[in-house]
Amino acid sequence: MQVSAVAHPNVALIKYWGKRKAAGNLPAAGSLSLTLGHLSTRTEVRIDGGLEQDTLSLNGSASERDLPRLRDCLAPLRERAGNASPVAVESANDFPTGAGLASSASGMAALALAAANALGVAEDGELVGRAAMAGSGSAPRSLFGGIVLLSIDESGEWRCGSLLAPDEWPLKVAVAVTETAAKAVDSRAAMELTRRTSPFYSAWLEGQDADLEEARRAVEQRDFDRLAELSEHNCLKMHATVLGARPAVVYFNSATVECIHRVRGMARAGVPVFFTMDAGPQVKAVCLPDALDEVAEALRSAPGVRQVLTGGLGAGARIT
């Protein structure tokens, strides 16, 4: 049985940073993201009882390192299907992998969807979400298109879905790629270090529900200025919390900082744009459609920027 799926990475405006439970990989708080239609992961899953063990090829090379995460994702699906046969997985990204462009989110969403279909358990959407989350806490968001909310209640019950479809508020995103090598500290390890050692971690968590609720309202009202202010605040607060870890994790490089200043300069001059960064040095500038060319040009000419990838919001993960 062989199934392929495509998923897009997503960029969080209200971030997930820190887990509630290591088991099941449950985030400590909810998050809100944009699904990026111009970047894609394609993953093929083949169930093969003849294999001795699971295999993973990532961008054409065998990857041992990501096998544990792959198995975490497959575990709930295998259990439901009552089928533990080994799988051969081939996954490829059309953008830099492991460099803070959320390749784990699109990778795990595509894997969960393809494997659920190959194992015949895809009709249970909640199960597919749980499998994606077991692989990466941001991956359930890539199962959905447009602007996506992942909410978690006190008891740890969570749900994920689109707040707006891509055409209901056609925001644009320019991704300034400032580094193409994989990051030095992966987000799972950095989150755990932050939780254990950053004096700012509890304050970070305390603010999350309020930021999320305000962002949800800004999205519903299509209030760009409010979403812009809140997203930059949430992003810088996350990075401040990570900078407070011991040893500190510094994801920014000099081009990251230059891009932040350029985006702030444009916003001060009245251009509808704001920035956000995840666990890596890339800067994602979110803007209204008419501003995209100007924003992309300003980032492209910043020293240290290697390329600028522009596009709009995309659809959720799907079988191809």
Binding footprint of ligand PMV on the chain (CB under 6 A): 12, 15-17, 31, 102, 104-105, 136-138, 187-188, 278-279
- Contact criterion met (CB below 8 Å) for 138 and 105: yes
Give whichever of 8 and 15 is closer to ligand PMV, judged by the CB atom: 15
Which H or E run includes 13? Answer: strand 10-14
Q: How far is the CB of 305 from ligand PMV (least distance, A)?
A: 20
Give whichever of 84 and 240 is closer to ligand PMV, judged by the CB atom: 240
Q: How far is the CB of 19 from ligand PMV (least distance, A)?
A: 9
Distance CA(283)–CA(241), nearest Å, equals: 18
Nearest Cα neighbor of 216 from 290, 162, 269 is: 162
Give whichever of 118 and 219 is closer to ligand PMV, judged by the CB atom: 219
Which amino acid type is present at position 250?
V
Give whichever of 118 and 218 is closer to ligand PMV, judged by the CB atom: 218
Q: How far is the CB of 188 from ligand PMV (least distance, A)?
A: 5
Contacts of 79 (CB under 8 A, 6+ apart): none
What would the DSSP string read from start to end of 219-276? HHTT-HHHHHHHHHHHHHHHHHHHHTSSS------HHHHHHHHHHHHHHHTT--EEEE
Q: How far is the CB of 215 from ligand PMV (least distance, A)?
A: 12
Distance CA(220)–CA(228), nearest Å, equals: 14
Q: How far is the CB of 82 from ligand PMV (least distance, A)?
A: 28
Q: How far is the CB of 15 from ligand PMV (least distance, A)?
A: 4
Distance CA(202)–CA(194), nearest Å, equals: 10
What would the DSSP string read from start to end of 31-59? EEEEEBTT--EEEEEEE-TTSSS-EEEET
Give whichever of 4 and 103 is closer to ligand PMV, judged by the CB atom: 103
Nearest Cα neighbor of 312 from 153, 108, 170 is: 170
Q: In this structure, what token pair is assigned to residue 2? A: 């062989």
Q: How far is the CB of 28 from ligand PMV (least distance, A)?
A: 11
Q: In this structure, what token pair is assigned to residue 173? A: 């995103």
Distance CA(296)–CA(293), nearest Å, equals: 5
Give whichever of 47 and 58 is closer to ligand PMV, judged by the CB atom: 58
Q: In this structure, what token pair is assigned to residue 205? A: 């968590």
Nearest Cα neighbor of 171 from 74, 37, 15, 63 is: 37
Give whichever of 4 and 104 is closer to ligand PMV, judged by the CB atom: 104
Q: How far is the CB of 11 from ligand PMV (least distance, A)?
A: 7
**86: alpha, beta or left? (left if phi > 0; alpha if psi -120 to 50):** beta
Give whichever of 4 and 276 is closer to ligand PMV, judged by the CB atom: 276
Give whichever of 186 and 294 is closer to ligand PMV, judged by the CB atom: 186
Question: Within its chain, how far is the Cα of 65 from the centroid?
Answer: 19
- Contact criterion met (CB below 8 Å) for 173 and 311: yes
Q: How far is the CB of 272 from ligand PMV (least distance, A)?
A: 23
